[in-house]
Amino acid sequence: MRKIRTLVAALATLLSASQAWADLTIGVSVSLTGPTSALGIPTKNGIELWPKTIAGEKLNIIMLDDATDPTQGVKNTRRFITEDKVDVIVGSVATPVAVAMSDVAAEGQTVQLMLSPANLPEGKGAWSFRMPQSTAVMAIPLVEHWKKLGVKTYGFLGYADAYGEAWLKDIQPIAEKAGIKLIATERFARSDTSVTGQALKLVSANPDAILVVASGSGAAMPHKGLVERGYAKAKIYQTHGAASRDLIRVGGADVEGSFVASGPAVVAPLLPDSNPSKALGVKYVTEYEKAFGKGSANQFGAHAFDVALVLEKAVPLALKKGKPGSKEFRVALKDALETMGRTPVSQGVLNYTANDHFGFTPDTGVLLTIAGGEWQVVPTN
C-alpha cells in the first residue's frame, strides 16, 4: 500500500510539473512608477483583459515595474530569462527602457513584444517586435494634413531621448519630400517641468506648425508652454504617444483645436465599417471601459490588448515545433511572428517579416483633433 501511495504521489508530482512546464509564461516589464507611469498603468489594465488561455495553454503572467528606468528594465529582463524562464517578454512602454531590454532579449533568444515604437540600430533587434506603430508610419497623416493646409515650415519640440530622436529622424524625409522644411529644433527631458526657453525660441522662429513629441500626461506641459507664449493652438501637432485622455484632462482649453496622430483603437466607433481594425477596436473599447470606466480607453491599453491577439495567431503555429518552456518553442514563436502574414489588430494591420519588426501598414494612422474635450477624426484626403 505504501508503494502504491508513493507511486501515486510521484505521478501527481510529475503531472503537476508537466502542466506547469506547459504554461505559456509571459514576463511583463512596464512603467508603473516614474515619468512614464501614465502609459504603464493603462497598459497594465489592458493586460487584465487578456484571456486565461491561448491555444489551450494556460497564461502565466509575471509583471514587474521598471520605474521608467533602463537599468531596472534590464534587471527585469534578465530575471525573466534566467529565473522565470519566460516564453515571451512584453515591454516596456518607455522607449529608452524598451531599447535597453532589447539587447538582453536578443542575448537570451526570447521574443520581446515592445510596447514602444523604438528604433534600434542596424543589426539589432532580431528578437524584438513592436506593438505600437512606427514613427515613420504615424508621421504620414501629419504630413498629409500639413500638405492639405499649405504648411511650408515646421518646428520640433520633443523628448531628448530615443522616442524624440526617432520622430526627428523619421518625419524629416517625409516632410522634405512634400516640400516642408524643419526650421527650428528644441528638446527637453521627460522629467522637466517647464520648456519656457525652448518655447520662446520656437515661437520666435514662427514656423507654420510645431510638432510636439512627448507622451501621456507629459505631452500637455510643452503644449501649454507654446500656447502661453502666444503660439496658435490650431498649429500644434502631437504624436501617437500623446493620444490619450490625459492630454485632454491636463491640457484643458490649451489643447482644444490641436491635432494628434493616433492608431485607430482610440476612436474605433467613429471609423467606417470598412476599416479592418474597427470591430477589434470597438471590442477593445467596450471591454476596457466596462472594466475601468467610460472614457478610459486609450491607445496604451490597446497595444496591450493587441499583444493577446498577436499571440493567439502566433502561438498555435509555434506549438507545432515545441512546447512552452523550451528553446524550440521560443525560436518557433519568432519564426511564427515573421511568417504569420497580415494580422488585423485594434491599432491597425500588422504584417511582420524577417526584415520588418514594426509591421504596420502605411495606412494605419489616423489624425484626431480635440473639440469640446472629445476626440474627432480629421479627414486627411
Residues 117, 8, single domain; the answer is yes
- Specify the number of domains making up the chain: 2
Residues 183, 82, single domain; the answer is no
Q: What integer is the mean pLDDT of 28-36?
A: 95
Is it the case that residue 132 has pLDDT exceeding 70? yes
Range of the domain at 194: 135-262+364-378
Residues 253, 237, single domain; the answer is yes
Residues 199, 220, single domain; the answer is yes
The reported pLDDT for the residue numbered 17 is 41
Residues 342, 329, single domain; the answer is yes
Are 169 and 118 contacting, i.e. CB atoms less than 8 angstroms apart? no
Is it the case that residue 7 has pLDDT exceeding 60? no
Residues 76, 143, single domain; the answer is no
Three cell numbers written together for 365: 494612422
CATH number at residue 215: 3.40.50.2300
Residues 113, 73, single domain; the answer is yes
Is it the case that residue 74 has pLDDT exceeding 90? yes
Is it the case that residue 22 has pLDDT exceeding 90? no
In-domain check, residue 314:
yes
Is it the case that residue 6 has pLDDT exceeding 60? no
Are 43 and 301 contacting, i.e. CB atoms less than 8 angstroms apart? yes
Residues 156, 303, single domain; the answer is no
C-alpha atoms less than 13 angstroms from C-alpha of 110 in its C-beta half-sphere: 29
Q: What is the DSSP-derived secondary structure letter of residue 200?
A: H
pLDDT in tens, 288-347: 999 999 989 998 999 999 999 999 999 999 999 999 999 999 999 999 999 999 999 999
Residues 64, 164, single domain; the answer is no
In-domain check, residue 358:
no
Separation between Cα atoms, residue 361 and residue 352, nearest integer Å: 10
Place of cell 511583463: 28
Q: What integer is the mean pLDDT of 259-265?
A: 95
In-domain check, residue 276:
no
Residues 129, 146, single domain; the answer is no
Is it the case that residue 10 has pLDDT exceeding 70? no
Residues 145, 241, single domain; the answer is yes
Q: Give helix then strand counts, H and E, for the chain.
A: 12, 15
Nearest one of 132, 135, 72, 74 to 105, comparing CA atoms: 74
